Structure 1
Amino acid sequence: MNIQRLFPLVLLLVVGLFAACGDSDSGTTSTPKGGGAVTTPTATATFPADSTMAAIVKKGKITIGVKYDVPLFGLLDPVTKKVDGFDVAIGKEIAKALGLKEEQIEFVEAISANRIPYLQEDKVDLIISTMTINAERKTQIEFSRPYYLAGQSILVKNDNTTIKTVDDLNGKKVCSVQGSTSENNIKAKAPRADLTSFTTYSACVSAMKDGRVEAVSTDDIILAGFASKDQSLKLVGGTFTTEAYGIGMKKGKTDLAKFVDGVLNAMMQDGRWEKLYTQFPGTAPGLPPASDAKAKVPASA
């Protein structure tokens, strides 16, 4: 046989073979470790027709309640009118896992007092708003697994030398936020404190800076965010509680809670949690590195 005539045929066969091999993995998706509902964002995410997730996807939008005044977790930029932070970023990951694009997310302000009512009244699909998981709240809403572990602390002005521990709050003017666990903790830990409650943490900090109160008390990570942006403030007293943050959903939406747990589990295992922690909470002075912070987060609460 004439080799010169055979060579072009062989070449065509080889090229075709490589082309077929190159197409062999198209349309596949990766599955991270950890299981759960949907753990990797895909453009073709599908859910049972009667599920909460399917209803959100059909609606074409997810509404998430976040803080607008908490540095590192949920802070509204007054110029761009966009909110950013750790809680916001986690919300975006959940939306991706639903197959939604960023422009299909609506972030609304959820202050401490209206977080549970917003869920009960179907004003939001999720609350990701520095919300502590506790027994009373579990009777009212569904919670995800914890995604962050904080502890209550105290914020004062740098020149304050009289407040060093939670006991020192007795007899002092202290501010916390209405509807928060922090408000109740102050009543229990420093019953003689003169407690003032506002609707937002930023209002408490403003009241301290203009002399109406002497201290602000809430979760250390929230206070660290304010201190990182204002060198006239400092944290004192260490932490005197543990606060496991969870994502809130309307009571009865257990399928959504399971789905969100799957997303969080995947984030904990594939490096996304550490990346977002380093970008947001991890920038505050004195906080542990991402690996240590993640190790403290309990699997349940």
Structure 2
Amino acid sequence: MGVSYDIPGMGYKNPQTGAIEGFEPDLARAIAVKLLGSGDRVDFVQVTDDQRIQALQDDRVDCVVSQLTITADRAEQVAFTVPYWVTEEAILVRKGSGIHGFEDLAGKRIAATAGSVSIRRMRASLASLPGTTLVETPLSAGNLEAVARGDADAASNDRINLTCLKDASPHPDDFEIIAIGERFDPKPFGIAVKKGRLDLVNLLNEAIESLQMEGAIERLMDAAMAGIRAPATSG
């Protein structure tokens, strides 16, 4: 399973224990129980946003469960399961920034992750936001870091990712999240597999739908959000 390693609560490699934690690794383990009889029968590989599809095509992973929004162009490259989570576009800013909505991004610097739908959407929006520039980051964690350092005025990402990054930061009260989902389509996350693996897609769909009916996916998300802790810092 290809997962993120940089988003506490979503997909995170604990630097103290080396454990792979968060909602999506826990979902992968729950699916492994359904399909393989044990949550231990899954290996995790880090994938960054801009490598997720290539990792499948290169056979480095069998599945990607890493906030991969289902889009028509991506569905031409990989096969998707049914959505396991649906979120929306949002921005993260420092409190008191003066940014209260999408229109206030004009003339500002927006951080977004390379290879993400968010950076695609922000790039397409530049014509309606005069003077705005993009700050591309290799990892989603870099979105909040750019705002915290003053290298960006706002970060654009999935609302759930921004919530995780904010809550896990050393100073969560310094930031606020603003929904801009009314301007964009919802963001359904699906598990992606290599094109042509209909057999695997069908098995994954059965497991996801079973977990949804049991209420297990909601419980996994609730537990992941409740368990977020600020990463240890040095100095």
TM score, norm. by length of structure 2: 0.88
Letter in 2 for 1:178: A
**Pairwise mapping of residues 149-298 of structure 1 onto structure 2 (< 5 A)?**
149-161=86-98, 163-191=99-127, 192=130, 193-229=132-168, 230-239=172-181, 240-241=183-184, 242-281=186-225
Higher relative contact order (CA 8 A, sep 6+): 2
CA distance in 2, matches of 1:245, 1:212: 29
TM superposition shift of 1:170: 2.0
Q: Contact (CA 8 Å) 1:164, 1:237: kept in 2 or not?
A: no
Candidates 50, 53, 59, aligned match of 1:122? 59
1:170-223 Cα distance to aligned partner (Å, 9 max, x none): 211111011111001112234342001111011222121111111100111111
Q: Contact (CA 8 Å) 2:31, 2:39: kept in 1 or not?
A: no
Secondary structure of the residue that 2:103 maps to in structure 1?
Answer: helix
CA distance in 1, matches of 2:76, 2:18: 35
Secondary structure of the residue that 2:156 maps to in structure 1?
Answer: strand
Partner of 1:112: 49
Which moves more between the two structures, 96-105 or 253-262?
96-105
CA distance in 2, matches of 1:233, 1:118: 33
Aligned length: 220
Q: Contact (CA 8 Å) 1:169, 1:190: kept in 2 or not?
A: no
Q: Contact (CA 8 Å) 1:119, 1:126: kept in 2 or not?
A: yes
Indicate the structure (1 or 2) with the bigger Cα radius of gyration.
1
Q: Contact (CA 8 Å) 1:65, 1:127: kept in 2 or not?
A: yes
Q: CA RMSD in A?
A: 1.6
Secondary structure of the residue that 1:274 maps to in structure 2?
Answer: helix
CA distance in 1, matches of 2:155, 2:100: 13
TM superposition shift of 1:281: 4.2
Letter in 1 for 2:165: F
TM superposition shift of 1:86: 1.1
1:38-73 Cα distance to aligned partner (Å, 9 max, x none): xxxxxxxxxxxxxxxxxxxxxxxxxx0001111221
Partner of 1:80: 17
**Pairwise mapping of residues 85-104 of structure 1 onto structure 2 (< 5 A)?**
85-104=22-41
1:139-171 Cα distance to aligned partner (Å, 9 max, x none): 00000001111101110112312x111122121
Q: Contact (CA 8 Å) 2:108, 2:153: kept in 1 or not?
A: yes
> What residue ranges of structure 1 are gaps of 5+ in the alignment?
1-63, 285-301
Greater strand percent: which structure?
A: 2
TM superposition shift of 1:250: 0.4
Secondary structure of the residue that 1:133 maps to in structure 2?
Answer: coil
TM score, norm. by length of structure 1: 0.70
Secondary structure of the residue that 1:105 maps to in structure 2?
Answer: coil
Partner of 1:38: none
**Pairwise mapping of residues 46-65 of structure 1 onto structure 2 (< 5 A)?**
64-65=1-2
Q: Contact (CA 8 Å) 2:11, 2:23: kept in 1 or not?
A: yes
1:11-41 Cα distance to aligned partner (Å, 9 max, x none): xxxxxxxxxxxxxxxxxxxxxxxxxxxxxxx
Partner of 2:231: none
